[in-house]
Protein backbone atom coordinates (compact mmCIF):
# COMPACT_ATOMS: atom_id res chain seq x y z
CA UNK A 1 0.00 0.00 0.00
CA UNK A 2 2.67 2.46 0.98
CA UNK A 3 4.63 1.68 -2.19
CA UNK A 4 1.65 2.39 -4.43
CA UNK A 5 0.92 5.84 -3.05
CA UNK A 6 3.31 8.75 -2.65
CA UNK A 7 4.32 9.49 0.96
CA UNK A 8 2.64 12.91 0.80
CA UNK A 9 -0.67 11.06 0.73
CA UNK A 10 -0.23 10.04 4.36
CA UNK A 11 1.40 13.22 5.66
CA UNK A 12 -0.64 15.94 3.92
CA UNK A 13 -2.57 18.16 6.31
CA UNK A 14 -5.66 20.32 6.04
CA UNK A 15 -5.34 24.04 6.89
CA UNK A 16 -7.36 25.07 9.91
CA UNK A 17 -8.99 27.87 7.92
CA UNK A 18 -10.71 25.28 5.74
CA UNK A 19 -12.72 24.10 8.77
CA UNK A 20 -13.65 27.67 9.72
CA UNK A 21 -14.72 28.52 6.18
CA UNK A 22 -16.77 25.31 5.98
CA UNK A 23 -18.45 26.42 9.20
CA UNK A 24 -19.21 29.84 7.68
CA UNK A 25 -20.63 28.21 4.53
CA UNK A 26 -22.94 25.94 6.54
CA UNK A 27 -24.07 28.90 8.65
CA UNK A 28 -24.84 30.95 5.52
CA UNK A 29 -26.84 28.09 3.97
CA UNK A 30 -28.80 27.75 7.20
CA UNK A 31 -29.50 31.51 7.27
CA UNK A 32 -30.70 31.36 3.64
CA UNK A 33 -33.08 28.54 4.47
CA UNK A 34 -34.32 30.45 7.50
CA UNK A 35 -35.25 33.40 5.27
CA UNK A 36 -36.65 31.63 2.23
CA UNK A 37 -38.55 28.63 3.52
CA UNK A 38 -42.18 28.83 4.57
CA UNK A 39 -42.65 25.55 6.45
CA UNK A 40 -42.17 26.10 10.15
CA UNK A 41 -40.54 22.67 10.70
CA UNK A 42 -38.01 23.27 7.91
CA UNK A 43 -37.19 26.69 9.37
CA UNK A 44 -36.59 24.97 12.68
CA UNK A 45 -34.21 22.48 11.04
CA UNK A 46 -32.30 25.39 9.48
CA UNK A 47 -31.78 26.79 12.98
CA UNK A 48 -30.34 23.43 14.05
CA UNK A 49 -28.02 23.55 11.03
CA UNK A 50 -26.74 26.98 12.10
CA UNK A 51 -26.13 25.70 15.66
CA UNK A 52 -24.16 22.80 14.21
CA UNK A 53 -22.03 25.15 12.11
CA UNK A 54 -21.16 27.17 15.21
CA UNK A 55 -20.26 23.93 17.02
CA UNK A 56 -17.77 23.17 14.27
CA UNK A 57 -16.14 26.59 14.84
CA UNK A 58 -15.91 25.95 18.59
CA UNK A 59 -14.24 22.57 18.12
CA UNK A 60 -11.86 24.02 15.51
CA UNK A 61 -10.75 26.76 17.91
CA UNK A 62 -10.34 24.12 20.61
CA UNK A 63 -7.87 22.39 18.27
CA UNK A 64 -6.07 25.64 17.49
CA UNK A 65 -5.45 26.54 21.14
CA UNK A 66 -4.83 22.97 22.28
CA UNK A 67 -7.42 23.29 25.05
CA UNK A 68 -10.63 21.41 25.70
CA UNK A 69 -12.67 24.55 26.55
CA UNK A 70 -14.10 24.99 23.06
CA UNK A 71 -15.43 21.45 23.17
CA UNK A 72 -17.12 22.17 26.50
CA UNK A 73 -18.87 25.17 24.92
CA UNK A 74 -20.07 23.05 22.03
CA UNK A 75 -21.31 20.50 24.57
CA UNK A 76 -23.41 23.23 26.21
CA UNK A 77 -24.68 24.32 22.80
CA UNK A 78 -25.85 20.73 22.23
CA UNK A 79 -27.66 20.67 25.58
CA UNK A 80 -29.40 23.98 24.86
CA UNK A 81 -30.31 22.74 21.36
CA UNK A 82 -31.89 19.62 22.82
CA UNK A 83 -33.96 21.65 25.30
CA UNK A 84 -34.88 24.09 22.54
CA UNK A 85 -35.96 21.25 20.24
CA UNK A 86 -38.29 19.85 22.90
CA UNK A 87 -39.94 23.20 23.68
CA UNK A 88 -39.99 24.39 20.05
CA UNK A 89 -41.61 21.24 18.72
CA UNK A 90 -44.21 21.47 21.50
CA UNK A 91 -44.95 25.04 20.33
CA UNK A 92 -45.24 23.78 16.72
CA UNK A 93 -47.69 21.10 17.90
CA UNK A 94 -49.79 23.74 19.67
CA UNK A 95 -49.76 26.06 16.65
CA UNK A 96 -50.83 23.22 14.37
CA UNK A 97 -53.61 22.22 16.74
CA UNK A 98 -54.95 25.76 16.96
CA UNK A 99 -54.47 26.97 13.38
CA UNK A 100 -54.36 23.77 11.33
CA UNK A 101 -51.42 24.96 9.23
CA UNK A 102 -47.62 24.90 9.22
CA UNK A 103 -47.13 27.73 6.70
CA UNK A 104 -45.67 30.67 8.57
CA UNK A 105 -47.26 33.29 6.31
CA UNK A 106 -50.70 32.00 7.24
CA UNK A 107 -49.98 32.53 10.93
CA UNK A 108 -50.27 36.32 10.91
CA UNK A 109 -52.68 37.23 13.68
CA UNK A 110 -50.32 39.84 15.08
CA UNK A 111 -49.99 41.53 11.67
CA UNK A 112 -52.27 44.58 11.07
Partner 1 sequence: MDVILFTFFALVAIVGAVSLVLQKHPISSALSLVSVMVALAVLFLLLGAEFIAAAQLVVYSGAIMVLFVFVIMLLNAGAERESRKGGLAQFLGLPLTAILLVFASYVITQSMSNAKAVKFGAFTGGGPREVGWELFTRYLLPFEVTSILILIAIAGAVVLARKEID
- By rule CB under 8 A, what string of x and - marks binding of each residue 3-42 to partner 1? ------xx-xxxxxxxxxxx-xxxxxxxxxx-xxxxx-xx
> How many residues of this chain interact with partner 1, rule: CB under 8 A?
73
How far is CA 71 from its chain centroid? Answer: 15
Measured from the CB atom, the residue of 4 and 105 that comes closer to partner 1 is: 105
Determine which helix (DSSP H) or strand (DSSP E) holds 93, and give its type and residue range.
helix 69-99
CB of 3 to partner 1, least distance (A): 16
Ranges within 32-91 binding partner 1 (CB under 8 A) = 32-33, 35-39, 41-42, 44-46, 48-49, 52, 55-56, 59-60, 62-64, 66-69, 71-72, 74-76, 78-87, 89-91
Closest CA to 58 of 84, 83, 78: 78
Closest CA to 70 of 52, 58, 80, 60: 58
Closest CA to 23 of 46, 47, 56, 49: 56
CA distance 22 to 33: 17
CB of 98 to partner 1, least distance (A): 10
CB of 35 to partner 1, least distance (A): 4
Amino acid sequence: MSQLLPPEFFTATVPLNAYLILSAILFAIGACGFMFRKNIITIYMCIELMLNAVNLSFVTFSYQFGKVDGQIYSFFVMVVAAAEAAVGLAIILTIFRNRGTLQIDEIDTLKN
